């Protein structure tokens, strides 16, 4: 974007925009990604597959996630229990499917919340500037200077266990990164000719932010979203793994790994299956995020 300020000639600007692929519509860009980056498309299908599994969990399994069958505890994978059973004889596949609901919800909901907070604060910070900017950015510095897992642990301690607490803890720990990116985008956008034109015509600041600044931040937001979801999933699994996240009898992938750890030597599938599920989903989101970034927002590459 910076480069463009030096170009006075409109023809040159258009040439540069075409070169950067900025004149394409969103659908054109998606088509380009589909053609160039098969891995990203495949990843999108993997994510969709896991979402479907999570939504249809009750239809896909005859068991319930809390049904215990003490007689067949710790049984190896078989035709009756495709992925075996855990220490209380609960079906691992069933718990994995229900765990997908929690893990995906924890990936998506707090990330949306942190985006909303980050976008609001980032745009205000970048557009208003001055003391407001300084205060918001120092606040972001404070949040970013905590090791994120420890901050999440303290928030979980304060709010108590439970899924809502996890949502809040993860939203609080991850808005600051979004705010920083959006602030720097707003700073650039504020200096563009069309914002200047709007301002000189007397358009209100609120309208300018809503109609000219926000829509131009959307590509970065899509990329940030796909890259923040996996880190939220990893954070939840770390919290549940440490025993301060999702609590029994509910299921989450991190919790399943934690519970299976005691039986690592005689029933390794208990921990390894949910770990592999976490890895797959996180990998898929990362591949998709990388692919989207290449077509939507190449500037983000090194940040």
Partner 1 sequence: MLRSIGKRVLQTLIVLFCVSLMIFVLLRIIPGDAITTMMGEHANADTIARLTKEMNLDKPFYVQFITYLKDICTGNFGTSYTLNKPVTELLAAAFPNTVKLAVMAAVIAWVIGMVCGIIAAVKKDGILDRLFMGFSLLGVSVPVFMVAMVLQYFIAYKLHWVDISGVKSWTGFILPAIALGWNSAGSIARLTRSTLVEVLQEDYIDTAKAKGLGRGGVIILHGLRNAMLPVITMMALQISSLLSGAVISETIFSINGIGRLAVDAISRRDIPLLQGTVLFTTVIVIVGNLIADCLYTVLDPRIRKGA
Residues that bind partner 1 (CB under 8 A): 138-139, 141-142, 145-151, 153-158, 160, 230, 234, 237-238, 241-244, 257, 261, 264-265, 268, 271-272, 275-276, 278-279, 282-283, 286-287, 301-302
Give the nearer residue to partner 1 in terms of CB position, either 221 or 284: 284
Give the nearer residue to partner 1 in terms of CB position, either 197 or 264: 264
- For residue 106, what are the contacts with CB-CB under 8 A and spacing of at least 6? 163, 166, 167, 170, 232, 233, 236, 252
Helix%, strand%, coil% for the chain, nearest 5:
75, 0, 25
Q: Closest Cα partner for 291 from 45, 109, 10, 8?
A: 45
Give the nearer residue to partner 1 in terms of CB position, either 94 or 237: 237
Least Cβ distance, residue 148 to partner 1 (angstroms): 6
Least Cβ distance, residue 177 to partner 1 (angstroms): 11
Indicate the angle between helix axes 253-260 and 92-128, nearest 10 degrees. 130
Give the nearer residue to partner 1 in terms of CB position, either 13 or 286: 286
Least Cβ distance, residue 242 to partner 1 (angstroms): 6
Residue 239 in tokens = 């919290």
Give the nearer residue to partner 1 in terms of CB position, either 119 or 256: 256
In angstroms, rounded to a whole number, what is the distance separating the alpha carbons of residues 29 and 8? 27
96 membership: H or E segment, kind and range: helix 92-128
Least Cβ distance, residue 288 to partner 1 (angstroms): 12
Indicate the angle between helix axes 148-159 and 163-190, nearest 10 degrees. 130
Residue 42 in tokens = 């495949």
Beta bridge partners of 85: 91
Least Cβ distance, residue 259 to partner 1 (angstroms): 12
Give the nearer residue to partner 1 in terms of CB position, either 97 or 238: 238
In angstroms, rounded to a whole number, what is the distance separating the alpha carbons of residues 171 and 269? 32
Least Cβ distance, residue 103 to partner 1 (angstroms): 11
Residues 107 and 236: beta-carbon distance below 8 Å: yes
Give the nearer residue to partner 1 in terms of CB position, either 16 or 39: 39
Least Cβ distance, residue 54 to partner 1 (angstroms): 19
Give the nearer residue to partner 1 in terms of CB position, either 172 or 209: 172
In angstroms, rounded to a whole number, what is the distance separating the alpha carbons of residues 263 and 271? 8
Residue 132 in tokens = 């407001």
Query: SS3 for 267?
Result: coil
Q: Closest Cα partner for 116 from 243, 13, 225?
A: 225
Least Cβ distance, residue 182 to partner 1 (angstroms): 19
């Amino acid at each position: 974007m910076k480069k463009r300020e030096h170009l006075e000639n409109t023809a040159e600007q258009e040439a540069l925009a075409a070169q950067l692929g900025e004149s394409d519509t969103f659908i054109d860009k998606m088509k380009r990604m589909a053609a160039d980056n098969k891995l990203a498309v495949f990843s999108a299908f993997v994510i969709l597959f896991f979402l479907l599994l999570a939504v249809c969990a009750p239809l896909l399994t005859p068991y319930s996630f809390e049904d215990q069958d003490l007689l067949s505890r710790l049984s190896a994978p078989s035709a009756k229990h495709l992925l075996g059973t855990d220490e209380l004889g609960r079906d691992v596949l069933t718990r994995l499917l229900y765990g997908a609901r929690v893990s995906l919800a924890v990936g998506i909901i707090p990330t949306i919340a942190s985006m909303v907070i980050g976008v609001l604060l980032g745009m205000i910070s970048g557009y208003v500037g001055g003391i407001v900017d300084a205060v918001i950015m120092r606040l972001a510095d404070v949040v970013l200077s905590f090791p994120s897992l420890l901050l999440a642990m303290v928030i979980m301690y304060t709010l108590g266990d439970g899924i809502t607490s996890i949502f809040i803890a993860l939203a609080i720990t991850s808005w600051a990164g979004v705010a920083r990116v959006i602030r720097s985008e707003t700073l650039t956008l504020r200096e563009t000719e069309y914002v200047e034109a709007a301002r000189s015509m007397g358009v209100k600041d609120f309208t300018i932010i809503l109609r000219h600044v926000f829509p131009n931040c959307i590509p970065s937001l899509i990329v940030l979203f796909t890259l923040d979801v996996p880190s939220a999933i990893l954070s939840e699994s770390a919290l549940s793994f440490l025993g301060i996240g999702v609590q029994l009898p509910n299921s989450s992938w991190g919790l399943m790994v934690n519970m299976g750890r005691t039986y690592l030597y005689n029933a390794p599938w208990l921990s390894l299956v949910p770990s592999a599920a976490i890895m797959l989903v996180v990998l898929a989101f990362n591949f998709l995020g990388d692919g989207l970034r290449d077509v939507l927002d190449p500037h983000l590459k090194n940040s």
